[in-house]
Chain A
Amino acid sequence: MPSEKLHIAQASHNLSFLESFYSSYNYSDWSITVAFYSSIHIVEGAICFKKKIKYLGKDLEVSHSDQLPGAIKKAGLTVPENLLSASHHSLRGLIVNENFIEIREQYNLLYSNSRTARYRQYSWQKHEVELIVKPAIKEIIKWSNKECATTFKIDFK
């Protein structure tokens, strides 16, 4: 499992990449994807930082979303019937929805749009990415810097 430091480094790297091309609006499909992958690392960094998460109201010791199935079993909690088929994204989503309430709307918005981007043939209008990417990633950065003592920044110019 990557450490908190590695997640922070990867998130910074992705944010810097997003910053480099976002304002041209030539690769808006990639803006959604890169913003989502930045938020993944920010969230994983936060899970690592906090070391404890809540799952259905119970405290679990987890430092990466992939550890959630094992932690549920170890704690003797009821295991969701389709847990084994759950994707990494899905497990992370469960953690975000219950633990990181301040950013769950933004995170889910990026997740859903990055997942469905191929159905819209990767075509995004300028105003769409402006409405989705900018506010979502700014809010997620602001939250992480406050909650997890990170120093992420992004300048959309």
Chain B
Amino acid sequence: MTNRIKYHEGSKLSGDFSNFLLTQQVMLYQNQEDLLALVLDFIKAKEEKAKKEGILEVVEKITSEIKKQMQTYVDLVTKIVDFIYATAKEEFKDKDLKILVSRTNFCFETKGINILFIIDASFENELTFSTMLHEVSQMVLEQDNFISELFYLNKRNIELDEDLIMNEYPFQRKIEY
């Protein structure tokens, strides 16, 4: 027996066939309920698979972007701290100023940059350090497009509220001055 369909042009066949909606096409067959169920099950399964894959793809994309942004943010905070340590080491080489510690808080939502430097210094050097901080802040804005707030606290002859500082700036940079 000749398989007549085999000799039909595919386009011709599908041209007629596709004029019907899928559900209407189902009506052309016997056991239409079974076929309809089969079709709907198949579509549902494909939809679910596509949703899962789509969501996964979107989630992966978002996670990757967030990770990238977080990395940039943490890198920048670290870069600022290290730059200030390095500059202070050079500029205050033989002067009465020492950075004792630097602390920060990270807010990944807002990407706010707040860094506190606790120093031990004479008043004259404290002034120079203050100037250096706002120069660095301006540089960060121009070069890295981030607003940063850099503060200092001169510990000389005063008692500090360490708990409050740790609470507001929980992260301390491990660094040797």
Interface of A toward B, CB cutoff 8 Å? 56, 78, 80-87, 89-90, 93-94, 97-98, 104-105, 108-109, 112, 115-116, 118-121, 123, 125, 128, 131
Contacts and interface: CB of A to CB of B under 8 A. Distances in A.
A78 to B, nearest CB: 6
B161 A118 contact: yes
Given A82-B146, A86-B147, A131 B123 contact: yes
Contact of A112 (B107, B142, B145, B151): B151
B43 interface: no
Contacts of A108: 130-131, 133-134
Interface of B: 107, 110-113, 116, 123, 127, 130-131, 133-134, 137-138, 141-142, 145-147, 149, 151-153, 157-161, 164-165
B161 A120 contact: yes
Describe A's contact surface by its main secondary structure.
helix
Contact of A90 (B107, B130, B147, B165): B147
Given A121-B160, A125-B157, 6 more contacts: A80-B141, A81-B111, A87-B149, A109-B130, A116-B151, A119-B165
Contacts of A84: 110
A116 B116 contact: yes
A116 B147 contact: no
A86 B149 CA distance: 9
Contacts of B165: 119
Contacts of B113: 82
A115 B147 contact: no
A105 B153 contact: no
A47 to B, nearest CB: 17
Given A108-B130, A108-B134, A118-B161, A78 B145 contact: yes
A122 B148 CA distance: 25
Nearest to B164: A119
B153 A85 contact: no
Given A94-B141, A115-B151, A118-B161, A105 B127 contact: yes
Nearest to B142: A56
Nearest to A127: B123
A82 B147 CA distance: 6
B112 A85 contact: yes
Enumerate the 8 nearest inter-chain pairs by beta-carbon distance, A residue then B residue, closest first.
A85-B110, A82-B111, A85-B112, A116-B153, A86-B147, A108-B134, A80-B147, A120-B158
16 contacts: A56-B142, A80-B141, A82-B113, A82-B146, A82-B147, A85-B107, A85-B147, A89-B149, A90-B149, A93-B149, A98-B138, A108-B133, A108-B134, A116-B152, A123-B158, A123-B159
Contacts of B149: 87, 89-90, 93
B134 A83 contact: no
Nearest to B149: A90
B164 A118 contact: yes
Given A119-B164, A120-B160, A121-B161, A80 B146 contact: yes
Contacts of B160: 119-121
Nearest to A109: B130
Given A78-B145, A80-B145, A94-B147, A112 B152 contact: yes
